A and B are shown apart, each in its own frame.
Chain A
Amino acid sequence: MDPAAIETHGLARRFGDLIAVENVTLTVTQGQFFGFLGPNGAGKSTTIKMLTGLLEPSAGTIEILGQPFSSTALHLKRQIGVVPEGMALLGRLTATEYLRFVGRMYGLDRATVERRTEELLEFMQLANERRKMVTDFSHGMQKKLALAAAVIHGPKVLFLDEPFEGVDAIAAGMLKSMLQGMIQRGTTIFLTTHVLEIVERLCSHVAIIHQGRLVANGSIETLRAGVASTLPGAESGQRLTLEEIFLSIVGAGGGEPVQELSWLT
């Protein structure tokens, strides 16, 4: 049997007294489209940073593709692609130069770098912007470029921290089909986003983190069944949306705002 793409045990991270992530144990099998959800400040980005070597875990172990992962596991870093929180762009390079640089650092040969850079720029509809410095890109353009850089070396496991934030509807549609295509070819994708509709459509598995702890983990169907059974008078025939599942698990009640800001006209 194939080893799991991502496997963590008791993963935790503290910032001083704050426990940002606590005892996260999860398994993502290869080829899975995994949605990692949670409210603001729940610990999603912190988890992704630990899984990609950007942040030292305070406790716990990580295995990627069956091998222990740490910041020095260079052979594993070659297998993963990341769009980190805040993106890892270099403002003073142009789009072409940036993609070339990233490709070279992943050890691709010159011909491959050139070909993939071209294809990615075309695909992301950035070909006309290639001469601009990245710092002059719009937010959505930067997101697309960061995504292009994350896949230029054909990673086996892809980590995406809010890749759709600020991306227009046309591009989002294409990105979605690109990601689905990657899944079909066996890539594993670990995605965090606040757009639950995307998760519902793309992801086969979902985990929800709340205040640093995993509060749900499984296929969307499993979660739906679980939530439906706890709801008092819920009709089992009524299909819960992911949003309803999310709100019910995270427990925001979904009611009216606590206090009205009466001076806002």
Chain B
Amino acid sequence: MADLSGPFDAGLAPTGPGPFSRLARVQYAALIAMRARIFANNFRTSSGAFEFGARAISYFIYSLMGLGLGVGAGSVAFSLVSHDHLQPLFIEFWVICILWQAISIALASLQEHFDLGSLLRFPVNFGSFYLLHLIFGLVDASTLAGGLSCLGLLTGITLARPDLFGPTVLALLEFAAFNILLVRAILAWLDRWLAKRRSREIISAVFLLATVSVQLLNPVLREDRPFAHHHHVGGPKTGELRPWVNAIRTTQAWLPPGLASAVVWEADQHESTAIAASLGILGIFVLGAGGLLGIRLRAEYRGENLGEAPSRSKNEKREAAWLISGSGPISAEIEKELRTLFRSMPQLYAVFVPMVMVVIIGSLFRTGATAIAHPFRLAIPICVAYGLLGFTQLIYNNLGAEGKGIQLVFLFPVPVRTVILAKNLFHGALYIFIALVSGVLASLRIGRPDPDVIAATVGWLIFALPANLAAGNVISLTMAYRVNLGRIGRQSGSQANALLSMLIQTTILGIGVGVISLCSIFDRLWLAAPILLAFAVVAVIAWLTVLRNVDAMANARRDTLIAKLVKTE
């Protein structure tokens, strides 16, 4: 071994333990400088500058949404606390907690995440590694929304009862720390589990179970609403579930949202030991979430690889068959897409998580239905539209998963149009499938919709599919970005693409909402479907026009497309 005390060592900072040793601080400075350089270099190209603009706008939008949530949470808390209804506050904590996790899980594959794996070749200690993992990407949509909601809660509670401020701040700080750590821990473990086929299957089962338990949990929340109208929209009757309800209610009190809200309530009762106990238990949860994350990061720090080792018997059978037997390039391309999708975690995730979210949103509609006497009529179309949200990433970046394989598109003796058409057909089929499943899931949660609502929804879908495909093809060719197929939360992403595609999606949604609400204002909801079908005709023409021009567009953008997707940075 080299003698490190010799002249060779000259100019090296001494290594030391802990995330704040001198070496660690030198490293942070280097990382900050590196990020700053990358940031500055982005402005060398116009697309980089554009990307920066898009990022600024997206964060502005996230903040606005977070502010909305914060104001909402604050006003509800204010009215509850000023009417001395402290008990039901726990529902608000639960909603914030679920939203916080849900937003980050739903947007995981959209958010940028710096891959720290590349740091491992340097002498970085584990403490620094952990700290950096927490800090990089901290300012994302979920932290903004969750943090601002907590701030709103604090403001609302304090305005109503200034004397509760101290304990509330402590509780909210711990609550926020818990959420931030839990989000990271969940994503890190998901990556780990989804990398293996066996655990992928287990996860799907757990998701299913969770779906069912939301079904069961719903009556509990309804039970506790302070000004509940007792109507039964289907589902099991509360009475039959009494033991369950009590069990769940006592359990939730021992979980972080329950504990955090308990602190506020206990502060009102001046029970300082209880406050300390609640804060203490909450602290244990924070440590627990941090520990869960730590286990994962420790493995990563040791250089684990999340490859999918071949499982012998199974693969052999699956591989032997051609999934789609046609001999043309379209069937070949569709078969490739199918196989790739089911091995590409971020994409699979993006497509299927919204469906799970549909169940949660459906439940929100049901509990939120207090304001209106009966469940919101258009809840189902909204759920279906939401369920399709994950498609943004597939349809609006349909070349992103090709990676280096993008070169094949230009090498094959096949027009680019054929390749894109095959992708469109595949995505279209999947789109219809997901729309159906979301619709069915939502109806299970909310109740069967009226036929004219179904007709309007179907009309909108028939319009939205070609419209999305048309816009998606254009954006895929002009704003492609490389998808990291191995990890969910490690995307280089493109805020420009995300922003633009969200804008177009919103417009498409807006047209649907506009037509449907206009028709329902005039009590002619049956008219919505034919009107939307007329829009669909326009959308189909647009799609065909785009398809006709795909080759010209692709060839004109060939250089940048290949450069973007081939380069690994």
Binding site for B on A (CB under 8 A): 52-56, 71-72, 74-78, 80, 82, 84, 86-94, 96-97, 100-102, 104-107, 109-110, 130-133, 135-136, 263, 265
Cα–Cα, bound, A109→B309 (Å): 31
* A97:B8 contact, CB within 8 angstroms: no
Contacts of B322 in A (CB 8 A): 100, 110
Cα distance A97–B338 in the bound complex, in angstroms: 12
A55 to chain B, nearest CB (A): 6
> Do B555 and A92 touch across chains, with their CB atoms under 8 A apart?
no
B413 at the interface (CB under 8 A from A): yes
Q: Are B343 and A96 in contact (CB under 8 A)?
A: no
A112 to B562, CA, bound (A): 30
Is B327 on the interface with A (CB-CB < 8 A)?
Answer: yes
Q: A92-B339, A265-B2 are in contact. Are A77 and B404 (CB under 8 A)?
A: no
Minimum distance in angstroms from B371 CB to a CB of chain A: 47
List of A residues within 8 angstroms of B414 by Cβ: 74, 105
Could you tell me if A90 and B407 are in contact, using CB atoms closer than 8 angstroms? no
| Cα distance, A115 to B566, chains bound together (Å) | 30
The answer on a CB contact under 8 Å between A82 and B411 is yes
Partner of B329, one of A88, A91, A105, A131: A105
Contacting pair A92 B344 (CB below 8 A)? yes
The 10 closest A-B pairs by CB, nearest first: A104-B332, A78-B413, A88-B407, A131-B310, A90-B405, A77-B413, A92-B343, A74-B413, A105-B412, A92-B340
Question: Is A86 a contact of B339 with CB atoms below 8 Å?
Answer: no
Residues 322-357 (chain B) with a chain A CB within 8 angstroms = 322, 325, 327, 329, 331-333, 335-336, 339-340, 343-344
Closest to A114 in B: B322
**Contact check: which of B8, B344, B407 meets A263 at CB < 8 Å?**
B8
Q: Flag whether B115 is at the interface (Cβ < 8 A).
A: no
Q: A76 CA to B412 CA in the complex, in Å?
A: 10
Which residues of A sit under 8 angstroms from B339, Cβ to Cβ? Answer: 92-93, 97
Contact between B327 and A110, CB atoms less than 8 A apart: yes
Select B411's contact among A88, A92, A136, beta carbons within 8 Å: A88
Known A71-B555, A72-B551, A136-B307; judge A102-B329 contact (CB<8 A): no
Total contacts A-B at CB 8 Å: 116
Between A and B, 11 residue pairs with Cβ closer than 8 Å are A53-B411, A72-B555, A88-B411, A90-B408, A91-B485, A92-B344, A100-B332, A105-B329, A106-B413, A110-B322, A136-B308
Query: Nearest A residue to B340 by beta-carbon distance?
Result: A92
Answer whether A88 and B555 are a contact pair too, CB < 8 Å, given A82-B411, A131-B312, A135-B307. no
Residues of B in contact (CB 8 Å), total 45
Contacts of B325 in A (CB 8 A): 110
Shortest distance from the beta carbon of A108 to any chain B beta carbon, whole Å:
8
* B558 in the interface (beta carbon within 8 A): yes
Assess the B485–A92 pair: CB atoms within 8 A.
yes
How far apart sit A55 and B566, CA to CA, in the bound complex (Å)?
13
Q: How far is the CA of A92 from the CA of B415 in the complex (A)?
A: 23
* A93:B340 contact, CB within 8 angstroms: yes
Report if A54-B333 is in contact (Cβ < 8 Å); known contacts: A90-B405, A105-B414.
Answer: no
Q: Which of A72, A88, A109 contacts B408 (CB 8 A)?
A: A88
Query: CB within 8 A of A91: which of B403, B555, B558?
Result: B403
Cβ of A56 and Cβ of B405 under 8 Å apart? Answer: no
B410 at the interface (CB under 8 A from A): yes
Interface residues of B in 549-569 (CB under 8 A from A): 551, 555, 558-559, 562, 566
In Å, the complex CA distance between A106 and B332 comes to 10
State whether A54 touches B315 (Cβ < 8 A): no
Q: How far is the CB of B299 from chain A (nearest CB, A)?
A: 18
Residues of A within 8 A of B486 (CB): 135
A133 surroundings in chain B (CB, below 8 A) = 307-308, 310, 343
Give the docked Cα–Cα distance between A84 and B340 (Å).
Answer: 22
Select A55's contact among B316, B335, B559, beta carbons within 8 Å. Answer: B559
Minimum C-beta distance from A57 to chain B (A)? 11
Return chain B residues, CB-CB under 8 Å to A93.
336, 339-340
Q: Return chain B residues, CB-CB under 8 Å to A104.
A: 327, 329, 331-332
Q: Scan B291-311; emit 1 where CB is below 8 A from any A CB, else 0.
A: 000000000000000011110
Chain B contacts of A107 at CB under 8 A?
A: 329, 413
Smallest beta-carbon distance B195→chain A, Å: 11
Q: Which residues on the B side are within 8 Å of A76 (C-beta)?
A: 413
With an 8 A cutoff between CB atoms, is B319 at the interface?
Answer: yes
Which of B307, B402, B412, B485 interacts with A77 by CB under 8 Å?
Answer: B412
Taking CB atoms and an 8 Å cut-off, the chain B residues in 1-23 that contact chain A are 2, 8
Chain B residues with CB under 8 Å of chain A are 2, 8, 307-310, 312, 315-316, 319, 322, 325, 327, 329, 331-333, 335-336, 339-340, 343-344, 401-408, 410-415, 485-486, 551, 555, 558-559, 562, 566
Query: 5 additional contacts, CB 8 Å, given A88-B404, A90-B340?
Result: A104-B327, A104-B331, A109-B327, A132-B310, A133-B310
Kindly report which residue of chain B lies nearest to residue A104, judged by CB atoms.
B332
Cα of A71 to Cα of B486 in the assembled complex, Å? 32
Separation of A56 and B563 alpha carbons in the complex (Å): 13
Nearest chain A CB to B123 CB, angstrom units: 17
User: Contacts of B309 on A, CB cut-off 8 Å?
Assistant: 136
* Chain B neighbourhood of A135, CB < 8 A: 307, 485-486
Known: A96-B319, A131-B312, A132-B310. A84 touches B327 (CB 8 A): no
Provide the bound-state CA to CA distance between A78 and B335, in Å.
21
Query: Which residues on B sit within 8 Å (CB–CB) of A74?
Result: 413-415
Whether A94 contacts B413 by the Cβ 8 Å rule is no
Of B307, B315, B331, B405, which is within 8 A of A88 by CB?
Answer: B405
On whether the beta carbons of A52 and B319 are closer than 8 Å, the reply is no
Which of B327, B402, B413, B558 is packed against the most chain A CB atoms within 10 Å? B413
Q: Closest CB-CB distance, B450 to chain A, in whole Å?
A: 43
Q: Using Cβ atoms and an 8 Å threshold, which residues of chain B touch A94?
A: 310, 315, 319
Chain A residues positioned under 8 Å from B403 (CB to CB): 90-91
Specify which chain A residues have a CB less than 8 angstroms from the CB of B404 in the assembled complex.
Answer: 86-90
CA A56 to CA B562, docked complex, whole Å: 11
CA of A80 to CA of B340, assembled, Å: 26
Q: Which residue of A lies closest to B320 (CB)?
A: A96
Q: Which of B8, B401, B411 has the most CB of A within 10 A?
A: B411
Contact partners of A96 in chain B: CB under 8 A: 319
Q: B418: nearest residue on chain A (CB-CB)? A: A105
Q: Which of A56, A87, A88 contacts B559 (CB 8 A)?
A: A56
- Interchain CB contact under 8 A, B408 and A105: yes
**CB closest residue in chain B, given A101:** B336
In the assembled complex, the Cα of A52 lies from the Cα of B412 at a distance in Å of 10
Q: Among B308, B336, B411, B551, point to the contact of A52 (Cβ < 8 A).
A: B411
A93–B405 Cα distance when bound, in Å, is 11
Residue in B335, B413, B555 whose beta carbon sits within 8 Å of that of A101 in the complex: B335
CB-defined contacts of A80 to chain B, threshold 8 Å: 411
What residues of A have a CB within 8 angstroms of the CB of B406 in the complex? 88
Q: Which residues of A contact B558 (CB under 8 A)?
A: 54-56, 71
CA distance A101 to B414 in the complex (A): 13
Say whether B340 contacts A54, CB under 8 Å: no
| CA distance in complex: A157, B343 (Å) | 34
Please, which residue of chain A has its CB at the minimum distance from the CB of B485? A92
Which residues of chain A are near B562, meaning CB under 8 Å?
A: 54-55
